[in-house]
Amino acid sequence: MGHSIHNACAVALAISCLIVAASAGSFYDEMDITFGGERAKISNGGQDLSLSLDQYSGSGFQSKHEYLFGRFDMQLKLVPGNSAGTVTTFYLSSQGAGHDEIDFEFLGNTTGSPYTIHTNVYSQGKGDKEQQFHLWFDPTAAFHTYTIVWNAQRIIFLIDNIPVRVFNNHEAAGVPFPKSQPMRVYASLWNADDWATQGGRVKTDWKNAPFTAYYRKFNANADKVGPNSRSTSSVNDNQAWRTQGVDAAGRNRIRWVQNKHMIYNYCNDRTRFTNGLPAECKRSRFL
């Protein structure tokens, strides 16, 4: 009896530790620096991470774990001032041929001009599903939360918990949907002045280097896969992401964002899709 109580306590303690680890989201525990060397810095006891870009290199990191579905939150503060030519990213991706990917990319601009938020979804190696937005706040002045919800029914992009885009699963209409390839979380800061700012017309001004973006409060409420693949969600009460959709209030917020702040939608680009718009564009965006 005493032995079983001890075991139960040990299990309870392990679960409580897992919950702490999941909610604390220490970058030391969750992420590996992938490139850039000293340009990527973890600080504040693992709570903060900064990426820098100079003429020689950008920098980036990736999650130690792979996931198959979940809710992924990250707070970012973007490169201030003249950020033209730079791209800051937070995204999910699998590896190899025919990869899946869910993207937040932040395209810098000249001082005083708004950042472009670039979103895209790849499935089985094919993307071409871009939507772009300008923000209703200055993303360089303070941290804001960027969220990807990924479940079997849909992908939802949120900013400060406001849904800005939904990509529904339309496999029944022949549209590939990412659902079988585990993905890692990635983030990077790099130079893309051949295309990022005004189609590449505005180049990076290296007099402003190094450029630095800041990340904090990463949280993955998600299903881990692979070795040591105990799900973080198995110890979390909040699994709303598994079936999360967009309610009436959320649909109103999406309409507001898309009417006021969307600057590109592939579903409206008839010059690009000369043989007809993609199948999912003919269906309701917000169900």
Q: What is the CATH number of the domain that holds 144?
A: 2.60.120.200
97-141 tens-digit pLDDT: 899 999 999 999 998 899 999 999 999 999 999 999 999 999 999
**Distance between CA atoms of 135 and 243, rounded to whole angstroms?**
27
Answer whether residue 139 is part of any domain: yes
| Burial of 191 per CB tally in 10 Å (0-12, 13-18, 19+) | buried
For residue 278, what pLDDT is reported?
Answer: 93
Specify the amino acid at residue 65: H
Indicate if the pLDDT at residue 6 is higher than 90: no
State which residues form the domain around 185: 27-228+241-283
Residue 11 domain-assigned (yes or no): no
The continuous run of DSSP H or E covering 20 comes out as helix 2-24
Its pTM stands at 0.88
Considering the domain boundaries, does residue 13 fall inside one?
no
Looking at residue 229, its pLDDT comes to 57
Asked whether residue 12 is assigned to any structural domain, the reply reads no
| Beta bridge pairs of residue 162 | 159
Task: Give mean pLDDT, residues 61-80.
Answer: 97
Kindly tell me if the per-residue pLDDT of 18 is higher than 80.
no
Measured at the alpha carbon of residue 28, what is the angle toward residues 24 and 33, in degrees to the nearest 5? Answer: 130
Answer positive or negative: Cα dihedral of 161, 162, 163, 165. Answer: negative
Domain membership of residue 9 (yes or no) is no
Sign of CA dihedral 224, 225, 226, 227: positive
Domain count, the chain: 1
In a domain, 7, yes or no: no
| Residue 5 belongs to a domain | no
Look up tokens 């990191």; give the residue. 61
18 lies in some domain: no
> Which H or E run contains 187?
strand 184-191
pLDDT at 5 over 80: no
130 has catalytic annotation: no
List the catalytic residue out of 30, 105, 130, 280: 105
Catalytic residue among 101, 130, 171, 280: 101
- Our answer to whether residue 105 is catalytic in this structure is yes
